[in-house]
Each structure stands twice: as C-alpha cells, then as structure tokens.
Amino acid sequence: MTSYATASARAEMSELRRLKTLLPPELQSWVMVEASTDVNPPLIRCEEIGKDEVEIQVDLSKWENLAIDQRNLLFWHEVARIQNDTIPREGWEMAALAIGLGGAVGELWVQDGLLLLLALALCGISGYRLWQKNNGEKQIREMIEADEKAIALATRFGYSLRNAYKSLGSALKTLIEQTPNRRQRKIYDERLQALRRSANKAKAQMESSGETIREIN
C-alpha cells in the first residue's frame, strides 16, 4: 500500500514538472503549477495568488484520465487566459456591495438622504462590476479567444495545426461527456462549436498550400 502511494505521488510530481515545461519561457518565473487541494475542484483553473504571481491548479485524480495531448491543450488554454489577462481576481466588489447595502439600511433608519444616496451609489457600482465579471457571454467569448491562442501555443511547441485542433476538440468532447452540470456542459459545447468553425476557416485558408485539417466531428 505504501509503495503504491509513493509511486502515485511520484507520478503526480512528474506530471506537474512536465506541465511546467509547457509554460512559455516568459511565464516560467511567475506562473506556478500545483495540484489542487480543494474539495471537488474543477479539472484545471488558474488564479492570481499574489502580486505578479499566478497559479495553475490541476485536479490530478481527474487529469490522469485524459490523454497527454488532451491535457496539453487544456493546459495551454489556461496559459492563454493568463496571457490574455482574463483570469479571475479577488476583487473589492463583494465587500463594497455588502458595505453599501448595510449603509443603505442604516441610513433608512436615521433618514439621512445624502448618505443614503451615497450608499445606493456604492451598491450600484459594485453590483454592475459583479455583473460584468459574471456575464456569461463575456466569459464564453474570453474562453473561445483562449482556445484560439491555445492552438497557437501548441504549434509553438511543435504541434501541427491539424493535431492541435484535433487534440483540443477531443478534450472538449470528453469534458462534455463527463460533466454532469448542464450549464458547464453548455459552455464546453459552445467552445467546441467555435473550435469547429475556426478549424474549418483555417482549413479553407490552407487548402491552397496543400495542407489540410480534418474536421472535428
């Protein structure tokens, strides 16, 4: 039992080191790759953990069920999000909303009109910023843009364009099949549909040179 646990731990450390080598050189000094320690975490995610420091967290128990090429493209998707500056950050909006709501209730009690207006303004600004952060269309657009950049990163690391599209498409189809949450499945499906359109566009552009990209079914 102990030897199995040791072998498993070594395999996990080896995979984290391998993923680290997939970071572009310009990111290696400030982007960390770690195993997720949360309960029931997402497969992979990135978050800002300090000033000029970002961490990519991987649920290795789920990660090992994917093929290497699928892992690579999903990892580069997160790298692309970092490069595009679209990773989630701990903001001031929730705290400001709570302060604004508390202030509004308090000023209703003491009937100070000016302070009530200020509290409501704070609620409005923080609420709007939260809506912007959680806007579904904006999130999907950012993910699709990250998929496009992940394809470019894959070719930078030696993938052919055809294999890059094929690997990411295969990874998204696997996630669709394995994800019980309908909302998350819909996001994966929208990314897959956009990837198919992109692959077909790239195929049309490259036909004149004799290079082809097989369609993602």
What tens-digit pLDDT sequence spans the chain (217 residues)? Answer: 456 567 778 889 999 999 999 999 999 999 999 999 888 899 999 988 877 889 999 999 999 999 999 999 999 999 999 999 887 655 443 444 444 444 444 444 445 455 556 555 645 554 555 444 454 688 899 999 999 999 999 999 999 999 999 999 999 999 999 999 998 999 999 999 999 999 999 888 877 665 555 556 5
| DSSP three-state, residue 64 | coil
pLDDT value at position 37? 87
pLDDT value at position 101? 45
Report residue 144 as tokens: 């699709």
pTM score, two decimals?
0.77
Query: Apex CA 158: angle with CA 140 and CA 88, to 5°?
Result: 30
Q: Exposure of 165 by Cβ count < 10 A (0-12 exposed, 13-18 middle, 19+ buried)?
A: buried
Quick one: which of 207, 187, 194 has its CA closest to 151?
A: 194
Rounded Cα distance between 117 and 111, Å, is 11
What residue ranges in 51-158 does DSSP mark as E strands? 53-58
Phi-psi region of 54 (alpha: psi -120 to 50; beta: other; left: phi over 0): beta
pLDDT value at position 40? 87
Sheet holding 44-50, edge to edge: 31-35, 53-58, 44-50
pLDDT value at position 139? 87
